[in-house]
């Protein structure tokens, strides 16, 4: 039975996972650009806050297990999450169309790596607790 802060972490990360996947689907949908961008940014922003709060909760309660692969995979995923957010926020502010195209391509690549790392991290986390 999973209890305590690990259960809270599991629930927070499950909600974040759903929000990340939902935000990705919204971004790839064929709806109005401005409305989908607002929804995409909201979902991803809330999910990112949940991830950081969940990790902070583990750190504050001394339950951060740094000797398991789940920790390092999660850390790598967070690095790509930050790169993805930087690319996403930089793209609309770039005036040069060629540069904007390159940044957007990098944003999509970083996001794909993040999603893969996130799913592998989830797998290793579940393997650890089961």
Domain extents for the chain? 1-64, 66-130
List the structure tokens of 88.
């996403």
| Average pLDDT of adjacent 10-residue blocks, the chain of 130 residues | 86 96 92 89 97 94 93 97 96 92 96 96 93
CB atoms within 10 A of CB 40: 19
Of 61, 59, 67, 78, nearest to 121 by C-alpha is 78
Asked whether 52 and 90 are in contact (CB, 8 A), the reply is: no
Can you give the length of the chain in residues?
130
Note if the pTM is more than 0.85: yes
């Amino acid at each position: 039975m999973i209890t305590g802060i690990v259960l809270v972490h599991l629930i927070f990360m499950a909600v974040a996972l759903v929000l990340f996947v939902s935000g990705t689907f919204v971004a790839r949908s064929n709806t109005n650009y401005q409305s989908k961008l607002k929804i995409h940014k909201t979902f991803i922003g809330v999910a990112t806050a949940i991830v950081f709060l969940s990790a902070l909760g583990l750190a504050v309660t001394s339950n951060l297990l740094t000797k398991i692969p789940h920790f390092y995979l999660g850390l790598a995923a967070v690095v790509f999450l930050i790169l993805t957010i930087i690319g996403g926020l930089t793209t609309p502010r770039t005036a040069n169309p060629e540069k904007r195209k390159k940044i957007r391509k990098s944003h999509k690549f970083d996001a794909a790596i993040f999603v893969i790392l996130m799913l592998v991290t989830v797998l290793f986390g579940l393997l650890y607790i089961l």
